[in-house]
Every structure is written in structure tokens, then in C-alpha cells.
Amino acid sequence: MAKSVSGKVKAPAQVINVPQSREAAAQAIHEIGLAQRERTRIEAVMNDEMAGVKARYEGLALPWNEKIQALRDGVQIFCEANRESLTQGGKVKFSTFTTGEVKWRFTPPSVSVKAAIMTMEVLARKGFARFLRTKTEVNKEAILAETDAAKLLMEAGIAGVTITQKEEFVIEPFETKLEEVA
């Protein structure tokens, strides 16, 4: 928006075509459906073109990806074979070449648990409960299932619990879908 010399803000006028009858509203809904379907067609064409472009460039990049992987594997084999000299007897975890650097890094430790329920039972039984976590949280589904009782919570002054519901206005033009080949 541009500001005029007088200090007033000027905005372009908006033109909204408000239907004046039930028939005009039905016609507007029909036009919304046509516009939505046209937008969907445009989006499908865009996605087809993008998929083609992506596939073409992935095809062009494939030989380079293979070359990079082969060179990387070769450099790694060389560095592993010469790790002692490259890391100064293990004093450092990198080696610098004139064109780049190689590094040996540990990833952060991670824990994986198989048969979680059985593992938790064994941890509790063997005195390792410190490795178990108990999570307590508000059961929102239960509150929604018992909205009358939940309203008593709010009336009792329990802060933090509110039940909200919004009304939305939705326009759904009628459409027929074509059968898909299974």
C-alpha cells in the first residue's frame, strides 16, 4: 500500500461478487468447482513436467554419483591401509592432503531396544528401574469423551484445560470421480 502526502493510506478497492439469490449462489459454487478442477489440472501438468526434469537430471548425475562412490571407496581403502602414518600414530583423527582432508569420526552413541516390553520387565526385576521412564500426560481423548465432566474441571478453576470448537464454512462443489484401474 502506498502512503499519500496527506497521511491517509490508500488501498485498491476490492471487488467481491456477492450472489443475490439462491440460484446465483449455486452458480458461484459451480464456478468454484470449475476453477478448482482447472487448478488441479494445472498442478498435474506441473508435477508431470517436474518429474520429467528430475528424472532427466538424475540420469545425468548417475554416472557422476558412481564415479564419486568409486573414488571415495578407493581413497578410504588407501587411508585405512595407511592410517597409522596419516594420523601420526593415532595422535590425530584427520589427515590433510593438498586437495582436501579426510577425517575419522565416531558417531554419537545410540541405543536400540529389541523386545521392549520384555526388556522393561527385566530391567525392573533386576533393579535397573533408573533406566525406565514413566510418562504422565493429560489424556485429551478422555476429556473429549467426557466433555460434561471436563467442563467441571474448568468451573473448578483448574487452569490449563479448555475445550474449544470452531465453526468453519466449507464449500464443496459436487464432483464425480472416474473409476481407477486396479
Over its length of 182 residues, how does the chain's per-residue pLDDT go in tens digits? 555 556 677 777 778 889 999 999 999 999 999 999 999 999 999 999 999 999 999 999 999 999 999 999 999 999 999 999 999 999 999 999 999 999 999 999 999 999 999 999 999 999 999 999 988 898 889 888 888 877 787 777 777 877 888 988 888 888 877 777 66
Q: Where are the domains of the chain?
A: 21-106
Q: What pLDDT does residue 54 have?
A: 96
Q: At a CB cut-off of 8 Å and minimum separation 6, what does 154 contact?
A: 161, 162, 163
Cα distance between residue 130 and residue 136, in whole Å: 16
Chain-centroid distance, C-alpha 12: 37
Residue given cell 474441571 in the structure block: 153
CA-CA-CA-CA torsion sign (100, 106, 107, 108): negative
Helix (H) or strand (E) holding 63: helix 22-81
Asked if residue 126 lies in contact with residue 133, where contact means CB atoms within 8 angstroms, the answer is: no
Q: What pLDDT does residue 6 have?
A: 63
Q: What pLDDT does residue 77 have?
A: 96
